[in-house]
């Protein structure tokens, strides 16, 4: 005790802040993004079991799908739910709409034995350059309304608002020179002020893969964590990987608006396994394992030594075969697990190699391929039709099935459609050009899938009805609000 009494006040203050930093390091954890834009969906309970078996305790969602939330009930997992960008305008202009959203998607699940909701994500990358500013003016008003709604529901202590930001919200040639884009500086300053006042972190998505994919001059080894011959020197600091450089650019940008100590959470980071050159199993394993090792080492970055992000959410848990491929075919292949919960490569979060999903209900083991006795001269339109419904992105340049030959490509397209149609015999006809086989036609890394029994068919009616009820209630409240003003 005498030693503590004799420590000068300034040093006591320093020790206090150091203890805060140490607590933050201890709490740093690895989570995953669970997207549901899939052609073949496992039941949410199976996915939750997959998370728990792999001791993944944090999960980020992009909405608050009722079936997913029901599957999370009683799981103990820490959950982030999301509000889609197209709802921001309404919530920003209507406190009633904000109240209703919180009631339907937060309060109803935060009961004894319910869902442990820690964060509500307000939009998803609303400042993305390609959106041309269409969402950015709604962010702060929506946050204000939602914060008020959480207060009314007595949830402000337990649930924090965050805004997932993309890395192109800030810019610089060197990390220490990081600034927010000029047109965003005022809005982001307001947003960060609100986040800070409510004890919320800054949420950012960082993708070294996209830097490599979009820039032929980007040094490949700088995207990983294995060391580089292209280190970036920034004054006294040296950067050996793009992740640290990007993160410190954000930290510098935050410092310039007066929030240099803002806690940071990485909302999305990962590497795809297919659909582009450089997107493969080996690269994904090296990147994600390097990332996990780097974050859990608590090294931090040159601007925040010893202080890693509070949490890091890998993107993503499962492949999503129905996602838009506008950014690239790789969009459907970010999962550390394939759509059926089978691990794609060795990855260790510190609890041993990933474990596969259990009790997955597959369709029978049979496939649809081209009939070798038929002339395929008229097959083009059939392939186009099949791929307009099913996911054929692995057949394109850089994909794992790109090199299996013309007949292999046709068979892959036929089978993808056949599995999507739950192996309906008629879906393998293609005017007599297709046939069913019981021999697995997979070639090397090109996997011909077998579908899973879709849980969603039995619950889709409920979800549709609930969705329409939600829309009608919001419209009613919106009309009432317009009448009052």
- Burial label for 285, CB within 10 Å (0-12, 13-18, 19+), is middle
b/e per residue 134-173 (b: at least 16 CB within 10 A):
ebbebbbbbbbbbbebbeebebbeebbbbbbbbbebbebe
Q: How far apart are CA 135 and CA 123, in angstroms?
A: 9
Q: How far apart are CA 290 and CA 306, in angstroms?
A: 17
**What's 220's DSSP letter?**
G
Estimate to the nearest angstrom the gap between the alpha carbon of 18 and the chain centroid.
Answer: 32
Q: How far apart are CA 57 and CA 464, in angstroms?
A: 30
Residue among 57, 78, 125, 320 flagged as catalytic: 125
Six-digit token pair at 49?
């079991």
Backbone angles phi, psi at 44, to 5 degrees: -55, -35
Residues 146 and 93 sit within 8 Å (Cβ to Cβ): no
Calculate Rg over the CA atoms of the chain: 24
Query: Catalytic annotation on 268?
Result: yes
Name every residue whose Cβ is closer than 8 Å to that of residue 397 and which is 6 or more positions away in sequence. 277
Name every residue whose Cβ is closer than 8 Å to that of residue 389 and which is 6 or more positions away in sequence. 417, 420
Residue among 27, 148, 226, 268 flagged as catalytic: 268
Q: How far apart are CA 379 and CA 385, in angstroms?
A: 10
Query: Catalytic annotation on 125?
Result: yes
**What's 106's DSSP letter?**
I
In Å, how far are 115, 171, 172, 223, 252 from 246, measured between CA atoms? 33, 9, 10, 11, 10
Question: Which residues are identified as catalytic?
Answer: 125, 268
């Amino acid at each position: 005790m005498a030693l503590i009494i004799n420590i000068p006040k300034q040093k006591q203050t320093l020790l206090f802040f150091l203890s805060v930093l140490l607590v933050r390091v201890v709490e740093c954890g690895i989570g995953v993004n669970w997207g549901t834009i899939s052609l073949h969906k496992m039941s949410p309970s199976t996915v939750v079991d997959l998370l728990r078996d792999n001791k993944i305790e944090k999960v980020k969602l992009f909405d608050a799908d009722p079936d997913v939330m029901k599957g999370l009930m009683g799981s103990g997992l820490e959950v982030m739910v999301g509000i889609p960008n197209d709802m921001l305008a309404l919530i920003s202009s209507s406190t009633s709409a904000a109240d209703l959203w919180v009631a339907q998607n937060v309060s109803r699940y935060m009961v004894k034995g319910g869902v442990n909701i820690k964060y509500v994500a307000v939009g998803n990358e609303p400042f993305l350059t390609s959106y041309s500013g269409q969402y950015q003016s709604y962010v702060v008003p929506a946050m204000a309304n939602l914060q008020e709604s959480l207060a009314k529901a007595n949830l402000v202590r337990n649930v924090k608002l965050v805004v997932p930001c993309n890395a192109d919200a800030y810019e610089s040639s060197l990390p220490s020179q990081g600034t927010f884009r000029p047109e965003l500086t005022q809005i982001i300053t307001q947003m960060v002020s609100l986040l800070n006042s409510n004890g919320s972190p800054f949420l950012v998505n960082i993708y070294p893969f996209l830097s490599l994919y979009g820039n032929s001059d980007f040094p490949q080894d700088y995207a990983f964590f294995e060391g580089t011959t292209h280190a970036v020197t920034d004054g006294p600091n040296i950067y050996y990987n793009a992740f640290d450089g990007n993160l410190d650019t954000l930290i510098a940008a935050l410092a310039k608006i007066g929030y240099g100590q803002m806690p940071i959470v990485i909302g999305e980071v990962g590497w795809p396994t297919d659909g582009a050159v450089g997107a493969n199993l080996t690269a994904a394993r090296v990147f994600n394992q390097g990332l996990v090792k780097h974050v859990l080492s608590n090294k931090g970055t040159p601007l925040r030594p010893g202080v890693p992000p509070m949490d890091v959410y890998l993107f993503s848990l499962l492949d999503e075969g129905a996602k838009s491929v506008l950014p690239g075919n790789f969009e459907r292949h970010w999962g550390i697990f394939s759509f059926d919960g089978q691990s794609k490569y060795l990855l260790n979060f510190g609890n041993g190699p990933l474990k596969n999903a259990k009790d997955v209900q597959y369709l029978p083991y049979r496939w649809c391929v081209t009939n070798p006795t038929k002339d395929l001269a008229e097959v083009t339109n059939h392939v186009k039709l099949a791929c307009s419904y099913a996911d054929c992105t692995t057949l394109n340049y850089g994909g794992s099935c790109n090199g299996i030959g013309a007949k292999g490509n046709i068979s892959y397209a036929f089978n993808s459609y056949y599995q999507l149609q739950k192996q309906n015999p008629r879906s393998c006809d293609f005017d007599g050009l297709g046939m069913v086989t019981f021999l697995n036609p997979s070639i090397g890394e090109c996997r011909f899938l077998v579908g899973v029994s879709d849980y969603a068919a039995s619950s889709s009616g409920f979800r549709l009805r609930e969705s329409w009820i939600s829309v009608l209630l919001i419209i009613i409240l919106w009309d009432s609000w317009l009448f009052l003003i």
